[in-house]
Structure 1
Amino acid sequence: MSFSIVVDHVSYAWPDGTEVIKNLDVAFGGGRTGLIGVNGSGKSTLLRIIAGELRPRTGSVSVLGEVGYLPQDLPLGAGRTVSDLLGITATRAALHAIEGGDVAEEHFTTVGDDWDVEERARAELDRLGLTDVGLDRTVATLSGGESVMVGLAALFLRRPDVILLDEPTNNLDLDARRRLYAAVSSWPGVMVVVSHDRELLDRVDQIADLRDGEVRGYGGNLSAYEEVLDAEREAAERMVRSAEGDVRRQRRELVEARTKLDRRVRYGDKMYATKREPKIVMQERKRQAQVSAGKHRTMHEEKLEEARDRLTEAEQAVRTDAEIRVDLPETEVPAGRTVLTYPLPAEAGEFVVRGPERIAVRGPNGSGKTTLLRRIAGELESAARVRVPVRYLPQRLDVLDDALSVLDNVRALAPAASVNEVRATLARFLFRGARVEQPVGTLSGGERFRATLAALLSARPAPQLLLLDEPTNNLDLASVRQLTQALNAYRGALVVVSHDEPFLRELGITRWGRVDRDSGLTASD
């Protein structure tokens, strides 16, 4: 098999010495590869190294052909235009000059064979749903989702040999995601995409899992990968059960052997005490019995130690991501109790949330979904009436103080709780031991999210209305599962803005809302 990307023994560390990647070997062939792994495992760093944005400390990277790279955070620049992002401004300027009668040689050199560049650019933008986005529109007027789609259009317009995408569905509304899915599915070249989006990862040809400094490849999409993992986990768990049985058996045989040997020693001592045989014979028998007992005991102890080693090895083969397990009775809202009333546009009445409803709010990028949540949370002036304690989790995750520890941040929202109570709560959110003393500013994205969630759900008074704005953005698959576990334990009302359909299905949404630029908020059963 020929490989388009070969990463050979690559290591990389940040300027402060923090090691991100060490002696990594991986190769990517043709087709679309989904690169997955926990937050902080080095996925984005690896893409930047392949793209040439970062230089590895050791090792080398070879890529067959031109590389196109779409980072998580596009370097936009408010004064730039869509044409600038597409990389066609100079060609368009030369083309317009020629059309205006300026036949200078440099204009023809700049245009080359790209006489239809504007038509092709317009076609790519339209294909990705950007029909209202003109080539001369400034970046400052684009939403986050529109900027991502323009960046994607720029890649498809260039048609590089290799495309690298880093969390491309972040900030995209449902319609934009579907257009991106279609574009990825139709891409004929080499593509490596870092994503937590299950819908997107089910459209790739293979999965590459970056874990513990190594990449393991699996043929097929995310669903096929998870089936393989389930089979591996079941086999590993059978090995654990078998090894546990072996340990119990060896422990039992050791006890039985010690009992028999002790009985023999007591019998030998009794015979020696009664002196029924010559003293020299009795001493020799006693010595032989002690030697035999020592060998027998050593043999059984070695077998037990071997069984324990097999158990340890079997347990290490079971791949399990830590799970959040919490019980939040204080967040419970009785069925039927009015939690929130929010006035609807015109004479449409009120949007009312009662009891422990779970409401998902959707709408196109730039329609005002975040503004809606901020109004409900009281950050912006509105006529919303919230009748229970409320907490808001914004996309930026700027709720916590970076300079304070995880422990101190939680205590700030629950000052009446003791240190031991807070530590017990944080342990359920996977912060144990010295980790609770770590400053929030040093946490990875997934860790920061868990800390923020722990702080909000532990706040006093306990939140009975929780507002979440695109909570799965930038979370790895394990963190999304952990978020879902925590929210499934939450007993209050929930209003969540998200376009992550698998995540919403797991939450058990009871009602849907929609925000549009013109009509505002509308709700349906």
Structure 2
Amino acid sequence: MSTFPTSVTCTSLSFAWPDGTAVFDDLQVAFGPGRTGLVGLNGSGKSTLLKLIAGELTPADGTVRVAGEVGYLPQSVTLDTGLRVDEALGVAATRAALHAIEAGDAAEEHFDVVGDDWDVEERTLATLGELGLGHIDLDRTIGEVSGGESVLLRLAALLLRRPDVLLLDEPTNNLDLYARRRLYAAVEAWSGVMVVVSHDRELLDLVDQIADLRSGEVTWYGGNFAAYEDALAGEQDAAERMVRVAEADMKKQKRELVDAQVTLARRKRYGQKMFDQKREPRAVMRVRKRTAQVSAGKYRILHEEKLADAKERLDDAVDAVRDDDEIRVDLPYTAVPPGRTVLTLLDLELKYGARVDGGFDLRGPERIALIGRNGAGKTTLLRTIAGELDAVSGEVQAHVPLRFLPQRLDVLEDELSVVENVARFAPAATNNRIRARLARFLFKGAKADQPVATLSGGERFRAALAALMLAEPAPQLLMLDEPTNNLDMASVRQLTSALESYEGALIVASHDMPFLESLGITRTLLLEGGELKEIGREAVGYPS
């Protein structure tokens, strides 16, 4: 790493998508040493900003200056399955040259390739070990490792390069709990400039400061995510108090304007009466009338200006209050009586080797957390219960209507609008009924007519959730596979509030422990070594 202080500076940065949709207009932001958590609503431009800094996108205007080398871990990591692990890590050439020298080949080009990197293998193995990948041989191919391991391999490649600036975009997506712990340790140990985009609370609690990207501007908060939430809550309390003060002032100014208009009307009637009775010379009366009119005009204008000022203060106060609406769900037909059998699994053997020995029953409105390492078979189990995959042997008996929301959110048709997609799941419902219920999922007016292909990630998830929860018959068993992947904090809160109101049974596969804790989980099932077993909360490190 270079010895001079590293930083990223974006000056007058502007960027728009090819269809003209503006993302940034004259953005000014700089990132200095330390770990920065970049947060904001879905669609606010967090991933776009990282791509601009990494040089993967070109700004329409403005400049991006980076002091030092940049390492970038994108949200979607795709590695060639035919690559060897050492090739993916970027150390294959150095390693080959080192082996040639050790075998007695003293060709000068081998020494040029190695340079000063004589400990390349030791460093590589040490880095892999720190990330929990010590069992992976450097000569294996990428196709032999799991998806979560490939993410950590990409991170290992960046760490081996020792860049000055490290950019991480949702790095814990699709990582199991064990892999997340390894990544957290790597983040804690990082000493350069780091900018991390994430919805993972545990990861964001490791950063030094929070950069909140909202409406094309960045607001800074010192400390980790917990400190940010406390500061934000204080700001919102103050903003809401200002709204109440501004509303009271607005009402006062409206009353004073009405009172002023009444007073002016009285003066006008009195002046007209004096004029009609001709108690003074006509010329004097005309002067008095003109003076009164001028005075009345100033009086009226003064109160109108006060009212306009009060309205502007109210508008400013309202703008300062965040409007991250909550989903409201009222679906009485999803309720499941306590004790009623919802799902039965009998001696179930799944594709790819996982199994459920004996019998398993889900009863009443239970809330099940399904956890396990990447590749353990959680998605396979959910897809088998949903009827998307056939079991090798055994039985799946669903005793109530069920719905399954997969990670890919492919339950929606991209070319159809949100309303049309929901209508596919509830064909007997009227258009007005669908729209009224969609409003509770924050799709109101023209938003409900938007094609699904144009929705942000968070909106698409909300639309998919609405389609399943508004389906007819109403689902009394809802199964979700990694539902918080790619959701911003507001969307996670919206999802949590929706599931709090859901009265049916729930099975959620997730590595997001704080999210699972917020759902009021009643049982935790671990899929490990091909077997499904119930475990206690302490076994998975739940917050106490």
Place the TM-score, normalised by the shorter chain, in its bin. over 0.9
What residue identity is the alignment partner of 1:409?
A: N
- Cα deviation, 1:282-326, whole Å, max 9, x if unaligned, reads 665555544443432332222222211111111112223222222
How far did residue 147 of structure 1 move? 0.8
How far did residue 402 of structure 1 move? 0.5
Confirm or deny that 1:314 pairs with 2:317.
yes
How far, CA to CA, are the matches of 1:20 and 1:303 in structure 2? 37
Q: 1:347 to 1:79 in 2, by over 3 A?
A: closer
SS across alignment from 1:250: helix
How far did residue 355 of structure 1 move? 1.2
What residue identity is the alignment partner of 1:487?
A: L
Q: Could you tell me whether the CA contact under 8 Å between 2:6 and 2:68 is conserved in 1?
A: no
How far, CA to CA, are the matches of 1:296 and 1:11 in structure 2? 47
1:248 aligns with 251
Of 88, 104, 129, the residue aligned with 1:126 is: 129
Q: How does 1:324-363 map to 2 (within 5 A)?
A: 324-343=327-346, 349-363=358-372
1:165 aligns with 168
425-434 vs 492-501, which deviates more? Answer: 425-434
How far did residue 348 of structure 1 move? 5.0
How far, CA to CA, are the matches of 1:108 and 1:2 in structure 2? 32
Confirm or deny that 1:474 pairs with 2:477.
no
345-354 vs 466-475, which deviates more? Answer: 345-354
How far did residue 426 of structure 1 move? 1.9
How far did residue 75 of structure 1 move? 3.1
1:379 aligns with 388
What residue identity is the alignment partner of 1:218?
A: Y
What residue identity is the alignment partner of 1:371?
A: T
Confirm or deny that 1:404 pairs with 2:416.
yes
Where structure 2 has 5 or more consecutive residues not aligned to the other structure, the ranges are 349-354, 538-544
Q: Could you tell me whether the CA contact under 8 Å between 1:368 and 1:517 is conserved in 2?
A: no
Confirm or deny that 1:434 pairs with 2:446.
yes
29-38 vs 275-284, which deviates more? Answer: 275-284
1:70 aligns with 73
Q: 1:285 to 1:181 in 2, by over 3 A?
A: same
275-284 vs 106-115, which deviates more? Answer: 275-284
Q: Could you tell me whether the CA contact under 8 Å between 2:345 and 2:356 is conserved in 1?
A: no
Confirm or deny that 1:111 pairs with 2:114.
yes
Of 386, 390, 401, the residue aligned with 1:389 is: 401
How far, CA to CA, are the matches of 1:252 and 1:33 in structure 2? 49
Where structure 1 has 5 or more consecutive residues not aligned to the other structure, the ranges are none
How far did residue 521 of structure 1 move? 4.6
Q: Could you tell me whether the CA contact under 8 Å between 1:344 and 1:520 is conserved in 2?
A: no
463-472 vs 433-442, which deviates more? Answer: 433-442
Of 468, 471, 476, the residue aligned with 1:464 is: 476
Of 514, 523, 534, the residue aligned with 1:502 is: 514
What residue identity is the alignment partner of 2:441?
A: F
SS across alignment from 1:349: strand
Of 483, 486, 490, the residue aligned with 2:495 is: 483
Q: Could you tell me whether the CA contact under 8 Å between 1:366 and 1:517 is conserved in 2?
A: no
Q: Once the two structures are aligned, what percentage of the paired residues are identical?
A: 65
364-373 vs 151-160, which deviates more? Answer: 151-160
2:37 aligns with 34
How far, CA to CA, are the matches of 1:285 and 1:93 in structure 2? 104
TM-score by length of 2: 0.91
Q: Could you tell me whether the CA contact under 8 Å between 1:3 and 1:27 is conserved in 2?
A: no
What residue identity is the alignment partner of 1:398?
A: D
1:182 aligns with 185
2:425 aligns with 413
SS across alignment from 2:478: strand
SS across alignment from 1:447: helix
91-100 vs 268-277, which deviates more? Answer: 268-277
Q: How does 1:77-226 map to 2 (within 5 A)?
A: 77-226=80-229
How far did residue 57 of structure 1 move? 2.2
How far did residue 112 of structure 1 move? 2.2
Q: Could you tell me whether the CA contact under 8 Å between 2:525 and 2:532 is conserved in 1?
A: no
What residue identity is the alignment partner of 1:104?
A: A
Confirm or deny that 1:511 pairs with 2:520.
no
Of 368, 376, 383, the residue aligned with 1:367 is: 376
Q: 1:143 to 1:174 in 2, by over 3 A?
A: same
How far did residue 10 of structure 1 move? 2.0
How far, CA to CA, are the matches of 2:449 and 2:50 in structure 1? 32
What residue identity is the alignment partner of 2:447?
A: R
How far, CA to CA, are the matches of 1:375 and 1:132 in structure 2? 31
SS across alignment from 2:26: strand
What residue identity is the alignment partner of 2:147?
A: G
Q: Could you tell me whether the CA contact under 8 Å between 2:37 and 2:196 is conserved in 1?
A: yes
How far did residue 272 of structure 1 move? 5.0
How far, CA to CA, are the matches of 1:244 and 1:218 in structure 2? 29
